Amino acid sequence: MTTATDARPVVDSSPGGKKRALSARRRKDTLLAYGFLAPQLLGLVVFMIGPLIFAVVLAFSNWDGFGTRSFAGFANFAWVFSDPQMRTSMVNTLWFTVLQVPGLLVSGFLAAFFMQKAAKMKSVYRTAFFAPQVTSTIAVSAIWLWLLNPELSPINGFFSTNLGITLPDWLQDPKTAIPAIVFVTVWQGIGYQVVMFMAGIENVPRALYEAADIDGASEFQKMRKITLPLLSPTILFLSITGIIGSFQVFDYIYFFYETTAPAYARTIVYEIVQVAFRQFDFGRGAALAMVLFLILLAVTGLQLLAQKRWVHYTE
């Protein structure tokens, strides 16, 4: 007769058997993990890695989107750096970044710093600042296109009628076009900066402020010696994302000028769209996009290397 004990499966308790069982378990877990990741990995390959590889191929090709591609070597990259308009657009993009990123960081920090003192009204102010952030860029651009129009703008009309000051044609004057666009982007984007800075300020240990009060430190000294150093990780994150976003500015310019933007208001991404999708020169457009990618990669890498000197993390 067989007993219940005799019917139990035989388990290999030797070291080799345990190793084989562990290896089989790991293979099963690995296959299960890849099964869950498969939809995301497929989307990553199809919509990101695949187009990126194809863009690299196009950068070294001549192609109008319809005919046969031909190898162009480095001719497209030579055109990017030799064409006067491309150089002007790069300078415009750099000027836009130099104005916008510090403008967003400084205005966002000051707004968040003073809003922390607002007590019960803090949530109301935070909502007011964040409202433009969730507003459509097209709607914001339409409003500011009206406000910046010298013939229709109530701002220009007020200064002209009451103060006798004639303000410039903001979007058509080469000296004010980029600063005017920067002002619009800062006005819409400050809400995100405020929320991030307020979260960082709230995470600063209260004990540090209490110790500073005991030592007789002023509000400015506490901000300079405590708040700003402990906000350095937030500043690093916002500066990296801000630079990436500023180098990719397009929608405001396209709405303000459509396809006829003057040379002094064009940026790199605007040129990519014009060259690739208006002139159907996808090789040069891809080369310009690759140059933009390499610039952002280099700038981000330098920021990450420099963080060791000025970024402080609390334990």
Average pLDDT, integer, range 210-220: 88
pLDDT in tens, 89-105: 999 999 999 999 999 99
Question: Residue 72 and residue 236: Cα distance in Å, rounded?
Answer: 39
Q: What does the pLDDT read at residue 13?
A: 60
Q: In the chain, what percentage of residues exceed pLDDT 90?
A: 56
Amino acid in the structure at residue 162: N
Q: What is the identity of the amino acid at 240? A: I
CA atoms within 13 A on the CB side of 61: 17
Question: Are the C-beta atoms of 245 and 28 separated by less than 8 Å?
Answer: no
Q: Domains of the chain: which residue ranges? A: 15-59, 79-310
Compute the residue count for the chain.
Answer: 315
pLDDT beyond 80 at 256? yes
Asked if 265 and 178 count as a contact pair (C-beta separation under 8 A), the reply is yes
The CATH H-level (homologous superfamily) assignment of domain 79-310 is MetI-like (1.10.3720.10)
pTM above 0.75, yes or no: yes
